[in-house]
Amino acid sequence: MATRDIPLIVIIGPTASGKSSIGMQIAKTYGGEIVCADSRTVYKDLNIATAKPSPADQAVVPHHGLDIVTLGERFTAFDYKQYAEQVIDDIKSRGKIPILVGGTGLYIESVLLDYTFRPQFEPEHRARLEQMATERLQNMIAEQGYAMPKNSTNRRHLIRTLETKGSFGNKQSEPRSDAKVFGIRPEREKFEESIWRRVDEMFEQGLLNETKQLLSAYDEQLLSNDVIGYKPCIEYISGAINMNEAKAELVKSHLSYAKRQLTLFKRLQFIQWSESSEKCIGVISDLLGKRNQTT
């Protein structure tokens, strides 16, 4: 079968919505491989707090996009797009169905809408620009003939304009032609129950021990700021809060993150939404079943 005839199945949803289990079911049924689109599971050693697919699941279905970099190492949406596109092409070349699964909107959009990113920054160049006064940065932009950022006093925007030589990234308005995009959006009450259940499972699986191990290898600030899940554990370990408070704080963080995810996904008008995993699996199965009948 020509690779152009193999669809890219995309399964989108907020944290704890069940998208990973949907991806697993579809992959096992139709011979697919999963490409994870999660800005947290790209990190090595961060397993329980990120709900990284288990070794057992990875043994049954090939997973890509996991354990790419170490915490603190630079990995951008640009890096992800390059990685994911190569993996998707490879999966198709072997006659398998690529299944892009995740909740990191920028990762997903970069692949679906073929983002053209602005040039990456060079640390030494940025360091020099950061030493300059705001007025000097503005003058340099004017001298080079670049468009001034909307917020002409925001130093970060001024510096980025100079780094990219005034260029702007862009994206397509419609998804790539081979993509079939599905979303899982559970009812609010069931969703909160799911998050509480996930948090309880994380602690049962050893989230506290994982946190202690990571604290011995990574900077506490990185763990607290970059990954949802570790800050409440660090506070519990230090004695600042009790177990119930730690769980409640983690649930609150997940709910807040899910709200941000759904707000971003609302911009994507081409997502076919379902309110349950069963319905989502049914819709995808109908599509792939009809495809198999015509190939």
- Token look-up 């704080």 returns 249
Mean pLDDT of all residues belonging to the chain: 90
Assess whether pLDDT exceeds 60 at residue 148.
yes
Measured CA to CA, the distance from residue 231 to residue 204 in angstroms comes to 17
Q: What is the pLDDT of residue 290?
A: 67
Per-residue confidence band for 56, with pLDDT thresholds at 50, 70 and 90: very high
**For 174-201, what is each residue's pLDDT tens digit?**
899 999 999 999 888 888 999 999 999 9
CB-count burial class (<10 Å; 0-12, 13-18, 19+) for 18: buried
pLDDT tens digits, one per residue of 203-242: 999 999 999 999 999 999 888 887 888 999 999 999 999 9
State the CB neighbour count (10 A cutoff) for residue 90: 13
In sequence order, which ranges of 34-170 are alpha helices (DSSP H)?
55-60, 77-93, 105-112, 123-130, 134-144, 155-163
Q: How far apart are CA 52 and CA 36, in angstroms?
A: 9
SS3 for 181?
strand
Q: 99-103, 113-117, 264-268: which has the minimum mean pLDDT?
A: 113-117
What percent of the chain clears pLDDT 70, i.e. is strictly above it? 94
What pLDDT was estimated at residue 103? 93
Identify the pLDDT of residue 206: 97
Q: At what angle do helices 188-205 and 207-215 cross, to 10 degrees?
A: 60
28 phi/psi in degrees, rounded to 5: -70, -35
Of 103, 83, 107, 98, nearest in space to 8 by CA = 98
Radius of gyration of the chain measured on its C-alpha atoms = 21
Q: Which residues pair with 180 in a beta bridge?
A: 9
Residue 52, CB-side half-sphere exposure with 13 Å CA sphere: 24
pLDDT of residue 59: 97
In a 10 Å sphere around its CB, with 0-12 CB exposed, 13-18 middle and 19+ buried, how is residue 184 labelled? buried
**Residue 37 backbone zone (phi > 0: left; psi -120 to 50: alpha; other: beta):** beta
Longest dimension (CA), the chain: 65
- With beta carbons less than 8 A apart as the criterion, state whether 155 and 209 touch: no
Q: What are the structural domains of the chain?
A: 3-116+172-293 (3.40.50.300), 123-163 (no CATH)
> N- to C-terminal Cα distance for the chain?
8
Q: Is the pLDDT of residue 120 over 70?
A: no
Q: Which amino acid is at 207?
A: L
